[in-house]
């Protein structure tokens, strides 16, 4: 597959660009009853994200392309099928290549609901 399925890209679940930490990406999310969230992004250009810190764990899996999660001075290079866990309270940022798709699961609210 070269894109997420249509049902996963419902406009009601679209992440507003003001909540993105990276330019030139498109993202959508789902929220669990416990407030945890899953977001998935498609990156349209080579970019670095803003550094961020969460009060919850963040799990990332690379679906397509190459995504690099950087924290504690280590570059965790993810290719399709690779995964990484960023512990809560850890400053981190990402580096991505155009055409990459990732899925991120957050142990709390990363996206502010509309």
What are 5-23's pLDDT values in tens digits? Answer: 999 999 999 887 777 666 6
Report DSSP letters for 27-89, one per residue: EEEEE-TTS-EEEEEEE-S-EEPPPB--SS-EEEEEEES-EEEEETTEEEEE-TT-EEEE-TT
Look at residue 46 in the predicted model and tell me its pLDDT: 94
Q: How far apart are CA 106 and CA 114, in angstroms?
A: 18
Q: Where are the domains of the chain?
A: 6-106
Look at residue 97 in the predicted model and tell me its pLDDT: 95
Total residue count of the chain as it appears in this document: 114
Q: Which residue's entry shows tokens 């995964």?
A: 83
Q: How far apart are CA 16 and CA 55, in angstroms?
A: 21
What are 91-101's pLDDT values in tens digits? Answer: 999 999 999 99
Q: 6-106 belongs to which homologous superfamily? A: Jelly Rolls (2.60.120.10)
């Amino acid at each position: 597959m070269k894109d997420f399925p249509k049902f996963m890209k419902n406009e009601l679940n679209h992440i507003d660009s003001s909540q993105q930490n990276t330019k030139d990406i498109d993202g959508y999310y789902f929220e669990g009853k416990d407030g945890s969230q899953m977001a998935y992004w498609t990156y349209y250009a080579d970019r670095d994200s803003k550094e961020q810190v969460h009060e919850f764990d963040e799990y990332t899996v690379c679906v397509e392309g190459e995504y690099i999660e950087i924290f504690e001075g280590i570059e965790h290079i993810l290719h399709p099928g690779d995964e990484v866990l960023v512990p809560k309270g850890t400053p981190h940022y990402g580096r991505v290549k155009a055409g990459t798709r990732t899925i991120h699961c957050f142990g709390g609210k990363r996206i502010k609901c509309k």
